[in-house]
């Protein structure tokens, strides 16, 4: 028994069969977006409802009935029973189980022991056993207590409500769902009859019913039971009772299960704060509250925060519940998935395998799906490395684990077998396995089509994965024919403004890999226009995910749009509930109920469409920002200049689609670098950059081999004259390929003896503009003729110059505690950098906000839309760098008395609310091109916020920039534009100049000359 871990808001989204997308994985889409779960369980510190040492008069609910005779002798059976009820059972389940066992032995030999004490002791012994190595005997133990009740004719005794609830939960854990529901309903009726509707006993019965409802996949009902239980526990129990915390956590997970992710995060934060404030340090309720909070953070895309919380969870479990193997395994798997999403794949794979070992030590028949997830994720990892044989072995073991305790026809059985078939199909080049894979996959799809509604993301992802299997066995034409209609439905979900933000978080990585599969099939079958559209949709998942937040803020700025947005959100939630209900009705073959729900969905969809149409018509900028529509291949090609070339690489499971577009048209080729290999190469390049900041060597090395391989992966015909004839490169990529500047890629391989100053960097032959979306060239905001006006902001008043690297030069970097904001190193080059820019631009209307004037108050009080060029020279912070910092920020001068509106940090949400009309914004701060946190979508942090605020193009950095290098690069770029160069060429020449400047320490290393990229619009 695993302590009513009945909700798992984790939802580590496993939807796509494309195994190299490890934010998604190969397990498709577990029930109701379920994945390797975070444990949410029923706590044990309820103190027997009225036997608490705290005065019942302090509670808002009526007192519970106590045992009729309760001697005060602490050595007696009755006295020991009372003491055990008041014991914090969360703190030491093994110790509690031993004490309950000893009490039962003595009670059986004491003829004066009442049946109530003996029966309830069996119930609490079963409860304690649920978190020990004896969990397999918990249901039998609880049943022994209930047998005593029946034998003594005490079925209607008020205290039996408690025992029936405990029996119900052990039944659920043992997989006896019908019996669990009967006992839960009996407990509820008995509790209401004897204690009233507002009582802790009724709360416990609702908790038990929520447990079984969740196990059956009835998430709407489970959320309702969780809501009732958490309300009653908070009202009827002392604040230090761990039942309150766990009830709030389970309700939070219920909210998540029905699509109310934002409410779930708030509820999880409440549970964690309650636990930390009221529970003892060793109480496992705190651990579970923290684990659920980590899951909500993960689902919100706040990976660095989720990782930090999960580390605390793992440490607490090792210390306070070392034998609770199921829970420890689940949390370890969650942690592995989190760090895998941040690119630490090898570490994650090792942890999944360890989680599997821990699962084998556990006993829990209520959730065989969860037991198999570490194996399925580890299979993904093996397949990503190209070890298909090992991946098949792990998938086979996962299937065996699932099918042992899962009924035939269960969607997860079918999904696991479909994953196996997909891996088998990839081996077709080595053996005649494609036909065998198709033969295995076809009956599994029949199950999924019968069990899953046609427009669910889980079903659509499986359909496209099946199309890929068909393509390998029967040809790409047939495969694409199957995938195309499913892709159209997925596109509608991605671009629909009514799709919830929480769903976008979960679906984003999955949609990316799924559309990449569609693009692969389209190009291979000769459908170039459709492939070009799928390419944009694969990359748009990142942009939509980020910009949806900005669109929400934009909508909130207007009362009219805010009202419509709220109404739209209500309809979205209603649709999510109806979808869940329809899924269960279809599974249960309830035709009448299915028809009723379908009618309700149709009516809700009509209302949603009407609201969406009105919002799009009256506030088109919200739609354009939140859901940018893909541009056609013909329109895009026609928009290019004679010297322009679009380079748009798209990694897939068995290679990379190297796509280029010129005015002449589109060409493509699949190169032999799959997602995992691309990620490994980019990681090597990034490590070379990081080494430059940490090593004390006279001349740091750079991995030119990795940089050369990457260029040949994305532009395979590098030596062909057509590429050379197009020196203006437009770069369109997402994922790992968007984490490095293309300028540092290497055209010709270099040996160890080659000096970095002599390497054939791509910057020597091509200038580069980064494109977040392809619509940027065809739908750019018109620029009106006006005089250049410059605004420079930075050089905030901070601490003394400190050594941020072993080379003795300050880097513009974050990663410090919030309390140390004022102690961040000052940037002596920032003031000179901004002053030089102002001098170069030469406008009398230019202005700089430096030092004491570089404050939020000064900045937000100005008419910023008058400035054509705005430059920031300061520190850049990422989400999680400071405690409580949940979004990227630029550091300004902290005020003496900070407020939320003026705290010295210009966050991305504050930036998005600014009103700019700038031709370009220069962010001379570290990590300004990176995402909202670790592994966030590229360009989704500060850069996206400035675009939303009104910047047409941006100069941003990919890593911490050395102060002297930042000043030289930005000033030279501005100077070059004043001389007539385009922004991209201006940056190219500035980089080349710095690269060859021997007066600057280590100037030839890309860490120094290549951090900046130009993001165009």
pLDDT, one tens digit per residue, over 516-552 is 999 999 999 999 999 999 999 888 744 444 454 445 5
Q: Which of 399-408, 543-552, 655-664, 727-736 has the lowest mean pLDDT?
A: 543-552
- Which pLDDT does position 317 carry in this prediction? 93
Helices of type H across 321-344: 325-341
Q: Which has the higher per-residue pLDDT, 576 or 870?
A: 870
Average pLDDT, integer, range 140-155 = 94
Q: How far is CA 656 from the centre of its chain?
A: 24
Closest CA to 258 of 500, 452, 494: 500
Query: CB 606: neighbour CB atoms within 10 A?
Result: 11
Give residue 986's pLDDT band: very low, low, confident or very high (50, 70, 90): very high
Question: pLDDT-based confidence at 255, cuts 50/70/90?
Answer: confident
Q: What angle is formed at CA 84 by the lines to CA 80 and CA 87, rounded to 5 degrees? A: 140
Token reading at 275? 């636990």
* Cβ within 8 Å of residue 111, ≥6 positions away: none
Compute the half-sphere exposure of residue 166: CA atoms within 13 Å on the CB side of its CA. 29
Dist CA 539 CA 528 (whole Å): 17
Average pLDDT for residues 106-135, to the nearest whole number?
89
Q: What is the pLDDT of residues 910-922, one digit of tens each?
A: 887 788 888 889 8
Q: pLDDT confidence of 887, banded at 50, 70, 90?
A: confident
**Which pLDDT score is estimated for 49?**
29
DSSP character at residue 817: -
pLDDT of residue 190: 96
Give the per-residue pLDDT at 583. Answer: 55
Q: Is the pLDDT of residue 784 over 80?
A: no
User: Can you list the positions of beta strands (E) in 620-727?
Assistant: 644-652, 655-662, 665-671
Sequence-ordered list of residues with C-beta below 8 angstroms from that of 359, at least 6 positions apart, any chain: 325, 326, 329, 371, 374
pLDDT of residue 449: 93
Is residue 651 within 8 A of residue 737, CB to CB? The reply is yes
Tell me the pLDDT band of 496, cut-offs 50, 70 and 90. low
Arithmetic mean of pLDDT over the chain: 80
**Residue 63, token pair as written in the block:** 């007192």
Question: SS3 helix, strand, coil % of the chain, rounded to 5?
Answer: 60, 10, 35
* Contact partners, residue 612, CB within 8 Å, separation at least 6: 496, 497, 498, 568
* Contact between residue 773 and residue 628 where contact means Cβ atoms under 8 Å apart: yes
Confidence of residue 592 (pLDDT cuts 50, 70, 90): confident
Model confidence over 422-438: pLDDT tens digits?
A: 999 988 655 578 899 99
Residue 556 has pLDDT above 80, yes or no: no
Q: Token pair of 769, please?
A: 């503009």
Range 565-572 average pLDDT: 65
Tokens linked to 833: 């950098």
Residues 29-67 pLDDT 10s: 233 222 222 233 333 322 232 222 222 223 346 654 444
Which residues is 729 bridged to in the sheet?
645, 768
Is residue 778 very low, low, confident or very high in pLDDT (cuts 50, 70, 90)? Answer: very low
Contacts of 259 by beta carbon, 8 Å cutoff, 6+ apart: 500, 502, 503, 572, 573, 576, 577
Least confident of 16-20, 402-406, 514-518, 664-668: 16-20
8 Å CB contact between 234 and 247: yes
664-696 residue pLDDT tens: 999 999 999 988 899 889 989 999 988 886 654
Q: Given the structure tokens 């500035």, which residue do they identify? A: 990
559 vs 454, which has greater pLDDT? Answer: 454
Rounded Cα distance, 421 and 932, in Å: 36
Which pLDDT does position 519 carry in this prediction? 97
∠ CA 991-994-995 to the nearest 5 degrees?
80
Confidence of residue 881 (pLDDT cuts 50, 70, 90): low
* Per-residue pLDDT at 591 exceeds 80: no
Residue 382: is its pLDDT beyond 70? yes
Token pair recorded at residue 224: 């309702």
Pick the more confident residue, 343 or 263. 263
Q: In the block, which residue shows the tokens 């309720």?
A: 285
Task: Please state, in angstroms and rounded to a whole number, the distance separating the CA atoms of residues 286 and 277.
Answer: 10
The burial class, CB within 10 Å (0-12 / 13-18 / 19+), for 351 is buried
Enter the DSSP assignment of 175: T
DSSP assignment, residue 177?
H
Q: What average pLDDT does this structure show over 712-719? A: 80
Query: What confidence tier does 615 reach under pLDDT thresholds 50, 70, 90?
Result: low
Higher pLDDT residue, 511 or 927?
511
Q: Would you give the DSSP letter of residue 761? A: B
Which residues on adjacent β-strands are paired with residue 471?
none
Distance, CA of 1001 to CA of 698 (rounded, Å) = 9
* Beta strand pairing call for 869-873 and 889-891: unpaired
Q: What is the pLDDT of residue 804?
A: 38
pLDDT band, residue 69 (cuts 50/70/90): very low
Residues 6+ apart with CB under 8 A from 926: 811, 812, 813, 814, 875, 876, 957, 959, 960, 961
For the record, the structure tokens of 801 come out as 């110059």
Cα 163 from Cα 537, distance rounded (Å): 54
219 versus 481: which is more confidently predicted? 481
pLDDT at 618: 67
d(CA 182, CA 185): 5
Cβ neighbours for 803, distance < 8 A, ≥ 6 positions apart: 810
* pLDDT, mean of residues 749-757: 79
Would you give the DSSP letter of residue 289? H
> Is residue 112 predicted with pLDDT exceeding 90?
no
Q: What's the average model confidence in pLDDT over 867-891?
A: 78
Return the structure tokens found at 641.
């200049």
Cα separation, 843 vs 791, whole angstroms: 10
pLDDT given at position 883: 58
Residues in a beta bridge with 650: 657
- Please tell me the least confidently modeled range out of 75-89, 329-343, 350-364, 578-592: 578-592
User: Residue 286: is it exposed, middle or buried by C-beta count within 10 angstroms (0-12/13-18/19+)?
Assistant: buried
* pLDDT of the residue at 808: 37
Q: Please report the pLDDT score of residue 38 as a whole number.
A: 29
Q: pLDDT band for 926, please (50, 70, 90 cuts).
A: low
> Is pLDDT at 361 greater than 80 in this prediction?
yes
Residue 254 CA neighbour count, 13 Å, CB half: 31
């Amino acid at each position: 028994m695993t302590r009513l871990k009945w909700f798992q808001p984790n939802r580590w989204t496993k939807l796509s069969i494309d195994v190299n997308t490890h934010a998604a994985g190969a397990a498709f889409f577990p029930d109701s977006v379920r994945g390797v779960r975070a444990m949410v369980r029923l706590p044990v510190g309820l103190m027997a409802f009225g036997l608490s040492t705290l005065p019942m008069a302090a509670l808002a609910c009526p007192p519970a009935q106590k045992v009729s005779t309760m001697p005060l002798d602490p050595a007696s059976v009755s006295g020991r029973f009372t003491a055990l009820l008041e014991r914090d059972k969360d703190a030491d389940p093994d110790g509690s189980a031993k004490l309950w066992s000893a009490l039962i032995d003595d009670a059986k030999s004491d003829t004066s022991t009442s049946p109530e004490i003996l029966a309830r002791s069996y119930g609490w012994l079963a409860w304690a056993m649920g978190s020990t190595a004896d969990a397999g005997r918990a249901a039998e133990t609880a049943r022994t207590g209930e047998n005593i009740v029946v034998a003594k004719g005490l079925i209607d005794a008020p205290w039996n409500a408690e025992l029936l609830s405990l029996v119900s939960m052990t039944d659920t854990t043992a997989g006896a769902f019908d019996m669990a529901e009967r006992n839960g309903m009996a407990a509820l009726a008995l509790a209401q009859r004897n204690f009233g509707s507002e009582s802790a006993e009724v709360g416990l019965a609702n908790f038990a019913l929520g447990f079984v409802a969740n196990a059956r996949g009835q998430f709407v009902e489970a959320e309702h039971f969780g809501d009732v239980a958490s309300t009653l526990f908070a009202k009827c129990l002392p604040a230090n009772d761990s039942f309150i915390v766990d009830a709030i956590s389970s309700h939070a997970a219920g909210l998540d299960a029905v699509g109310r992710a934002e409410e779930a995060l708030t509820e999880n934060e409440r549970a964690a704060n309650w636990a930390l404030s009221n529970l003892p340090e060793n109480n496992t309720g705190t651990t579970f509250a923290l684990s659920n909070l980590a899951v909500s953070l993960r689902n919100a895309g706040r990976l660095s925060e989720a990782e930090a919380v999960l580390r605390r969870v793992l440490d607490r479990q090792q210390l306070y519940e070392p034998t609770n193997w199921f829970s420890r395994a689940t949390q370890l798997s969650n942690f592995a998935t989190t760090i895998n999403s941040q690119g630490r794949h090898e570490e994650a794979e090792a942890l999944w395998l360890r989680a599997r070992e821990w699962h084998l030590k556990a006993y829990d028949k209520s959730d065989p799906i969860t037991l198999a997830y570490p194996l399925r994720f580890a299979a993904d990892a093996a397949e990503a490395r190209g070890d298909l044989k090992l991946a098949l072995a792990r998938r086979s073991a996962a299937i065996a684990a699932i099918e042992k305790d899962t009924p035939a026809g269960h969607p997860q059985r079918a999904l696991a077998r479909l994953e196996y078939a997909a891996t088998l199909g990839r081996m077709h080049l080595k053996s005649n396995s494609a036909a065998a894979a198709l033969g295995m996959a076809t009956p599994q799809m029949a199950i999924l089509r019968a069990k899953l509604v046609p427009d669910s993301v889980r079903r659509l992802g499986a359909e496209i994965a099946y199309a890929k299997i068909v393509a390998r066995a029967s040809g790409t034409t047939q495969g694409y024919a199957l995938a195309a209609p499913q892709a159209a439905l997925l596109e509608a979900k991605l671009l629909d403004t009514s799709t919830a933000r929480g769903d976008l978080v979960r679906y984003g990585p999955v949609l990316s890999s799924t559309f990449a599969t569609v693009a692969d099939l389209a190009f291979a079958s000769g459908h170039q226009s459709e492939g070009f559209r799928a390419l944009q949709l694969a990359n748009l998942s990142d942009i939509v995910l980020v910009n949806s937040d900005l669109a929400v803020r934009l909508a909130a700025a207007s009362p009219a749009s805010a009202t419509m947005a709220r109404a739209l959100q209500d309809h979205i939630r209603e649709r999510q509930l109806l979808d869940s209900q329809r899924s269960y009705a279809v599974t249960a073959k309830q035709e009448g109920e299915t028809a009723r729900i379908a009618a309700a969905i149709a009516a809700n969809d009509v209302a949603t469409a009407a609201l969406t149409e009105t919002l799009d018509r009256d506030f088109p900028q919200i739609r354009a920002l939140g859901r940018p529509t893909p541009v056609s291949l013909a329109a895009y090609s026609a928009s290019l200049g004679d010297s322009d070339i679009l380079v748009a690489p798209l990694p897939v499971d068995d290679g990379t689609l190297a796509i280029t577009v010129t005015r002449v048209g589109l060409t493509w080729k699949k190169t032999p670098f799959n997602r995992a290999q691309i990620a490994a190469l980019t990681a090597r390049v990034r490590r070379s950059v990081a080494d430059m900041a940490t090593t004390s060597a006279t001349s740091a090395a750079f991995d030119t081999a990795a940089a050369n391989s990457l260029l040949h992966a994305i532009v395979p015909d590098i030596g062909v004259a057509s590429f050379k004839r197009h020196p203006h490169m437009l770069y369109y990529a997402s994922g790992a390929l968007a984490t490095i500047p293309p300028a540092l890629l290497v055209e010709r391989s270099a040996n160890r003896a080659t000096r970095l100053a002599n390497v054939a960097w791509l910057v020597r032959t091509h200038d580069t503009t980064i494109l977040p979306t392809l619509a940027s060239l065809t739908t750019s905001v018109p620029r009106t003729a006006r005089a250049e006006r410059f605004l420079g902001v930075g050089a905030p008043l901070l601490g003394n110059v400190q050594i941020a690297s072993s080379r003795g030069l300050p880097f513009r970097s974050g990663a410090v505690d919030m309390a140390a904001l004022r102690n961040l190193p000052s940037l002596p080059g920032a003031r000179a950098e901004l002053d030089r820019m102002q001098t170069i631009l030469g406008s009398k209307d230019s202005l700089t906000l430096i030092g004491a004037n570089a404050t939020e108050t000064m900045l937000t009080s100005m008419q910023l839309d008058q400035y054509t060029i705005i430059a920031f020279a300061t520190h850049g912070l990422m989400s999680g760098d400071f405690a409580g910092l949940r979004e990227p920020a630029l550091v300004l001068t902290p005020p003496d008395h900070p407020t939320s509106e003026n705290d010295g940090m210009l966050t991305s949400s504050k930036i998005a609310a600014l009103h700019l009309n700038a031709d370009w914004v220069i962010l001379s701060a570290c990590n300004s091109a990176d995402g909202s946190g670790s592994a966030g979508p590229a360009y989704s942090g500060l850069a996206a916020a400035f675009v939303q605020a009104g910047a047409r193009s941006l100069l941003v950095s990919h890593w911490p920039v050395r102060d002297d290098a930042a000043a030289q690069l930005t000033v030279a770029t501005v100077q070059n534009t004043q001389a007539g160069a385009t922004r991209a060429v201006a940056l190219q020449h500035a980089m080349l100049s710095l690269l060859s400047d021997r007066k600057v320490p280590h100037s030839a290393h890309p860490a120094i000359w290549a951090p900046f990229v130009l993001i165009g619009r």
